[in-house]
Structure formats: structure tokens, C-alpha cells
Amino acid sequence: MQKKIEEIKKFESPPKVIKNLFNAGEIEEFLKLYKDLPTTVHNKKQNVIKKRWLQGYSDKLEKLFVEKLKNEIGEFKMDNLQDENDKDIFGLIQESYAPIGLHVDAGFEAQNLIYKQSLIPLTPVGSTVIFKNRFYDGSTNFTQDPEELKRKNLNYGQNKRSSEHLKMYGDRPFDKAIHEKYLKHENIENLKGLEVELIYEWEVGSMLIFDRTHLHCSSSIIEGKKIGIATFTKR
């Protein structure tokens, strides 16, 4: 459980999308960065390739990113785990061939004052669903899958598995029209009690910023693959 829930709540705000934040040349540089970085994880079950944005591959992009994000959210510290040399990484660049399920990126250290996360699309087709519902008990994948729920021996940086959300937000059935259009990969029963706050339609050059306590997931809309940069901050 997060130890600083009341402090975390003071910094919460609605999700926002900043359009035209990066130009075409900068997006090309981000894609080159992705190509140059070593693969961290190739999760064949989730059908996703994850690369850590390690320091030192592009000083220009590191400075650009920090400057742009600071202009939007003020002072922050990175909370993206660390590399083998205990240096902060800037985030995760993910190449997804299948949608990622319902989860929250609320951190791995209970004493941290978690803050905002950002998403920068590097490809045009995709969307991300942000729910009004919030969770304050660390980074978690929400599922009803009994095999997933059995998983307890998790590696550094892996989300715990839980069905706790089903007891927290009431029994209201999830919106069938939204489920059919955006979330067909999710069991509708796993979305019970959830209410959508924002559906972010990916747009290259833009950035989505939202609180790390928001439940969220990918939509089922993918054309082949999509690539995006996810970053996580604390105060």
C-alpha cells in the first residue's frame, strides 16, 4: 500500500493531451533511438517487445524530453526503475503486436510520492483507455485469470496480479458499446464497475499525461504493431 496516499491525491488532475509537441524530425530520432537500444524483454505471451530508454544513447532526446515534460507538469524525478549501474532510465519503449490489458502503474516503492506518467506515440494507429477509477496499492495487472493470479514469484519491475478491483468499484456493468469498439480483448466482466474518463486516440507528435493512480489499458485497435514511449515520474 502506498504510504503517502493523501499527498499523492493533492497532485492528481485530469488526463491531458498536448498536441504537436514533437515535430516529424524529432519523431524520426525517437524511432532511431528505439532501433539502437538493446531489447530488454520479448514477452511472447503478451506479444510485446520492451526496450529500456537507457541514458547515453541520445543526450539531445534526453534533454528535449525532460524539458518538454517539465513545461507540462513542473518539477519531477524519474521513477522508471534503474539499469545495472543504478542509473535512472528514462522510460520504456514498447513495440506491441497485441493490446495490453487492464493495469495501473502505481510504482514499486511504497514510500515514493508517485506523480504523472506520459505516453508518446511513435506510430499513428492505436488508442489508450484511461478510467476514472484509481488504485493506490502499487503497480498491478488486474485479471480474473486463475493462472495469472497464482503468479507470486515476480522479477524486479514486474506488476503483481490481482482481482481486487472487482470488489472496489461496485457492480455496475461496463458500457457494452465502448467494450465492443475499443476493448474486445478484455473480458467485459473484468471491467465491472469501471467508468471511462478519456480515450486517447494516438497521434504522432502528441503526448498523453495522466496520473499514475489511474487504471488504464490499450484498446484493441492495432494495425500490425504500434510503438510508444511510456515514462513514469515521482515528486
Burial of 201 (0-12, 13-18, 19+ CB in 10 A): middle
Ranges of residues in the chain whose predicted pLDDT is under 50: none
Please report the pLDDT score of residue 155 as a whole number.
74
The count of residues in the chain is 235
User: Cα–Cα distances in Å, from 18 out to 6, 36, 56?
Assistant: 27, 27, 26
| Residues 6+ positions from 81 with CB-CB distance below 8 Å | 52, 89, 108, 156, 157
Give start and end residues of each alpha helix (H) in 84-221. Answer: 146-149, 176-182
Quote the CA–CA distance of 117 and 105 in Å, as a whole number: 8
pLDDT at 80: 75
Contact assessment for residue 230 and residue 91, using Cβ atoms and an 8 Å cutoff: yes
The closest alpha carbon to 235, from 129, 111, 123, 115, belongs to 115
Burial, 166: exposed, middle or buried (Cβ in 10 Å; 0-12, 13-18, 19+)? middle
- Do residues 94 and 181 make contact, with C-beta atoms less than 8 angstroms apart? no
**pLDDT for 84:** 79
- pLDDT for residue 207: 98
Q: What is the pLDDT of residues 8-17, one digit of tens each?
A: 999 999 999 9
Sheet holding 127-134, edge to edge: 160-162, 140-142, 103-104, 214-218, 127-134, 196-201
The pLDDT value recorded for residue 151 is 84
Residue 20's pLDDT is: 96
Domains along the chain with CATH numbers = 5-234 (2.60.120.590)
Q: Give this prediction's pTM.
A: 0.92
Residue 81, pLDDT score: 73
